[in-house]
Amino acid sequence: MEIEDLLKYLVEHFNAKISIEKDRNFVLARVDKYSYVNVAEFLFKEGFRRLLTVSAIDWLSRNVIEIYFITYNHVMNVYVKVSTEIPRDFPEIPSLSSMWENAAMHEREVWELFGVSFIGNKMLKPLFLENWKGPPPFRKGFDWREYVVKEYGLKYPPVPKTVYQ
């Protein structure tokens, strides 16, 4: 499949919003959360066998978490980043680990640090934060100073404001 055919298919079958870098080997595709796994399955079948990452961005002001993955097709020399948005108050999405085994570990990290559940991922258990009692620490609303004071009774001096002249 050529890059133009790939883009056309993503738009026509998944209603993807596409942008492409000028060197034409990096594609950004935004899809709705219901198409996220279907797009991943399509890309996998089209030779995108290398999953580089699964990650998240917390958009506090919009009350959503953006979930994305980046995959690569070495024959086409094309990278595709697929992103979707899920609500912050119900952060769950199907896992990609049935296609790419390494997705399980990336999703595990996102689960632990952002609080996103990946349905079907059997690896969701603490990786870094054993015995953690606080909220997901990579969420934008998390105040680590407040957490340390509450949890451990430690107080930090106020952070001085730096004024540049």
Q: What is the pLDDT of residues 1-35, one digit of tens each?
A: 888 899 999 999 999 999 988 777 899 999 999 99
CATH number of domain containing 19:
3.30.460.80
Structural domain that includes position 101: 3-125
* Per-residue pLDDT reduced to its tens digit, 47-56: 999 999 999 9
**Is 137 within the bounds of a domain?**
no
- The mean per-residue pLDDT over the stretch 135-148 comes to 89
* Per-residue pLDDT reduced to its tens digit, 73-83: 999 999 999 99
Domain count across the chain: 1
**Is 32 within the bounds of a domain?**
yes
What is the distance of C-alpha 155 from the center of its chain? 33
List b or e across 111-139, with b for residues whose CB sees 16 or more CB atoms inside 10 angstroms: bbbbbbbbeebeebeeeeeeeeeeebebb
pLDDT attached to residue 10: 95
CA distance 64 to 61: 8
**Is 145 within the bounds of a domain?**
no
Amino acid identity of 99? M
**Is 100 within the bounds of a domain?**
yes
DSSP state of 83: E
**Is 143 within the bounds of a domain?**
no
Does the pLDDT of residue 160 top 70, yes or no? yes
**Is 29 within the bounds of a domain?**
yes
**Is 136 within the bounds of a domain?**
no
pLDDT attached to residue 154: 82
% of the chain with per-residue pLDDT over 90: 73
Taking the whole predicted model, whether its pTM rises above 0.85 is answered as: yes
**Is 63 within the bounds of a domain?**
yes
